[in-house]
């Protein structure tokens, strides 16, 4: 019996169709030949991945940055603090379905292809976001309004759970050896671009519209853009070919019948590491890039327009730095970068939060840029690490489930927990200590991991 057949036979419990050596060698040769001529496909894959994540995170930015207004529109019979908690509660609940969505999209992505899963996810995401623009308010239909908002957010959470992981796996499998870090950094760059555009858009709304106009119709405007953005992204994706790695699995009849079952039975240790290191990304991303404008306006007394301008400047710096960190991770390794990010967050988060108290606008912007730089060390490296730690057969499933589980528990709840902690402790530094705890979890996970950047992507 050949080595390949022996390996496949050992995975029979996962429902694997065992290939022969000749078929697998032919598929590998086809993949190698394809990789020499996929320059245009790589460019199109990068563009499609960028647009898909841009649409998703523009929506989340719009919701997060308009949280104080959404609280009044959908929860008017509460005080401002309770209303804000309710708005962030809806934000957090939409993340509950993300691990389920990660399993579903991961199954389809590993079984029928990355391209198909990504094309469907962006369609559902853009449609559900567009629907928010037409939701009735509490003044119009009463308690039905927040219920409808919650239902739409749940659909968004389900569709979004396949986007980040799928786009990262897609680019990692297309990227040349030695450049996976720089190419997969396109994914977090696109999320930041969505947040940046959302921040700019909301800042313009605050500057151009009165408070009454914002509560009447202004809050709906960002969500109207989801339809054209989503259609453009889907059009690009359906015209792509699937990745060379996945096509090689198909050619060798090595696609798993039950990828999630194989993931849970064979790769539990890798799942724990992936979950642990993603905890820092989840908390830091939502606190630094989504919650911070609200924190500055509600806790630091900064005007809403100024807080959004500060967020816009720091996001622009973040986008520039993310590619640098992705490229650096190709040079020094994923483990070094992720351990460094964990240590720096643990050491600097509390001092940086303290520096916000009574600070000038320029100082606040510099502190936000510093936070963004720390975050890019993690964000510019994490998508490539999560794609590399799992083999091709379960890459989408492993990435999607672990990433979304961590974000469901710690990411989507971060603004809610931060707001609650401040109220419960009376300390404006409470969110900082929460972030320090997440950094400690990520550090332990990375110390237990191996370097992944020096080897080709694993197939088994």
As a whole number of angstroms, the distance between CA 27 and CA 32 comes to: 9
Residue with tokens 């020499």: 36
Tell me which range, 48-62, 302-316, 399-413, is most confidently predicted by mean pLDDT.
399-413
Q: Span 112-122, mean pLDDT?
A: 87
Radius of gyration of the chain from its Cα atoms, rounded to whole angstroms: 22
State the CB neighbour count (10 A cutoff) for residue 211.
12
Residue 213 counted as domain residue: yes
Q: How many folded domains does the chain comprise? A: 1
- Is-contact 397 107, C-beta < 8 A? yes
Q: Is residue 79 very low, low, confident or very high in pLDDT (cuts 50, 70, 90)? A: low
Residue 338 counted as domain residue: yes
- Is-contact 321 372, C-beta < 8 A? yes
Residues 6+ apart with CB under 8 A from 216: none
Write down the pLDDT at residue 2: 37
From the list 145, 390, 147, 111, the residue with the least C-alpha distance to 272 is 390
Angle at 456 between CA 454 and CA 459, to 5 degrees: 140
Structure tokens at 295: 């924190």
Residue 2 counted as domain residue: no
Mean pLDDT for all residues in the chain: 83
Residue 303 counted as domain residue: yes
Q: Is residue 302 very low, low, confident or very high in pLDDT (cuts 50, 70, 90)? A: confident
pLDDT tens for 201-210 read 888 888 899 9
Is residue 99 scored above 80 in pLDDT?
yes
Residue 26 counted as domain residue: no
Higher pLDDT, 336 or 86: 336
Q: Is residue 19 very low, low, confident or very high in pLDDT (cuts 50, 70, 90)? A: very low
Write down the pLDDT at residue 106: 93
As a whole number of angstroms, the distance between CA 378 and CA 87 comes to: 28
Percent of the residues in the chain that have a pLDDT greater than 90, as a whole number: 35
Tell me which range, 16-20, 293-297, 368-372, is most confidently predicted by mean pLDDT.
368-372
pTM confidence score = 0.81
Structure tokens at 29: 């040769």
- Is-contact 152 135, C-beta < 8 A? yes
From the list 240, 237, 167, 174, the residue with the least C-alpha distance to 31 is 174
As a whole number of angstroms, the distance between CA 61 and CA 58 comes to: 5
Is residue 343 scored above 50 in pLDDT?
yes
Q: Span 50-75, mean pLDDT?
A: 80
Residue 29 counted as domain residue: no
Residue 454 counted as domain residue: no
Write down the pLDDT at residue 273: 96
Q: Is residue 335 very low, low, confident or very high in pLDDT (cuts 50, 70, 90)? A: very high
Domain range spanning residue 43? 35-238+267-447
- Is-contact 305 199, C-beta < 8 A? no
CATH number at residue 51: 1.20.1250.20
Write down the pLDDT at residue 78: 65
Write down the pLDDT at residue 38: 55
pLDDT tens for 414-455 read 888 888 888 889 888 999 999 999 999 999 999 999 999 988
> If you write DSSP's letter for every residue of 416-448 in order, what string do you get?
HHHHHHHHHH--TTHHHHHHHHHHHHHHHHHHT
Angle at 408 between CA 132 and CA 218, to 5 degrees: 25
φ and ψ at residue 455, rounded to 5 degrees: -120, 155
pLDDT tens for 138-196 read 889 888 988 898 888 888 888 888 888 999 999 999 898 889 999 999 999 998 888 78
Residue 254 counted as domain residue: no
Is residue 22 scored above 70 in pLDDT?
no
φ and ψ at residue 162, rounded to 5 degrees: -100, -5
Structure tokens at 229: 């953005």
pLDDT tens for 350-364 read 999 999 888 888 998
Higher pLDDT, 127 or 235: 127
């Amino acid at each position: 019996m050949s080595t390949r057949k022996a390996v496949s036979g050992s995975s029979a419990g996962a429902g694997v169709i065992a290939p022969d050596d000749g078929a697998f060698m032919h598929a590998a040769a086809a993949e190698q030949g394809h990789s020499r001529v996929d320059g245009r496909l790589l460019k199109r894959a990068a563009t499609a991945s960028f647009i898909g994540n841009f649409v998703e995170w523009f929506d989340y930015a719009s919701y997060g940055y308009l949280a104080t207004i959404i609280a009044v529109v959908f929860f008017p019979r509460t005080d401002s603090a309770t209303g804000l908690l309710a708005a962030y509660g809806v934000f957090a609940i939409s993340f509950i379905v993300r691990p389920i969505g990660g399993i579903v999209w991961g199954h389809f992505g590993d079984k029928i292809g990355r391209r198909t899963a990504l094309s469907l996810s962006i369609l559902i995401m853009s449609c559900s976001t567009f629907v928010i623009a037409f939701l009735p308010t509490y003044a119009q239909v009463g308690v039905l309004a927040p219920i409808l908002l919650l239902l739409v957010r749940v659909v968004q959470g389900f569709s979004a759970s396949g986007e980040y992981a799928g786009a990262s796996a897609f680019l990692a499998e297309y990227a040349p050896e030695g450049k996976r870090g720089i190419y997969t950094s396109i994914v977090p760059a696109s999320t930041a671009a969505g947040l940046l555009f959302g921040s700019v858009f909301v800042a313009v709304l605050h500057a151009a519209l009165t408070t009454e106009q914002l509560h009447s119709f202004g809050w709906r405007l960002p969500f109207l853009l989801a339809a054209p953005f989503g259609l453009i992204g889907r059009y690009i994706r359906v015209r792509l070919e699937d990745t060379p790695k996945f096509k090689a699995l198909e050619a060798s009849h090595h696609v798993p019948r039950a990828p999630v079952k194989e993931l849970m039975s064979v790769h539990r240790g890798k799942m724990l590491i992936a979950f642990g290191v993603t905890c820092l990304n989840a908390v830091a991303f939502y606190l630094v890039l989504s919650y911070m404008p609200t924190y500055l306006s509600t806790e630091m007394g900064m005007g809403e327009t100024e807080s959004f301008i500060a967020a816009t400047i720091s996001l622009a710096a973040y986008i520039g730095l993310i590619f640098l960190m992705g490229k650096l991770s190709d040079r020094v390794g994923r483990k070094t970068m992720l351990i460094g990010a964990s240590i720096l967050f643990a050491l600097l988060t509390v001092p940086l939060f303290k520096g916000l108290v009574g600070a000038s606008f320029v100082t606040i912007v510099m502190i936000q840029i510093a936070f963004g730089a720390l975050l890019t060390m993690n964000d510019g490296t994490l998508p490539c690490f999560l794609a590399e730690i799992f083999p091709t057969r379960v890459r989408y499933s492993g990435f999607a489930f672990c990433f979304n589980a961590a974000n469901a528990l710690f990411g989507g709840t971060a603004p809610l927990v931060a707001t609650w902690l401040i109220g419960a402790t009376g300390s404006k530094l409470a969110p900082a200590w929460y972030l320090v705890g997440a950094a400690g979890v990520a550090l332990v996970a990375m110390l237990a991991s191996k370097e992944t950047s020096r080897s080709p992507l694993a197939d088994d």
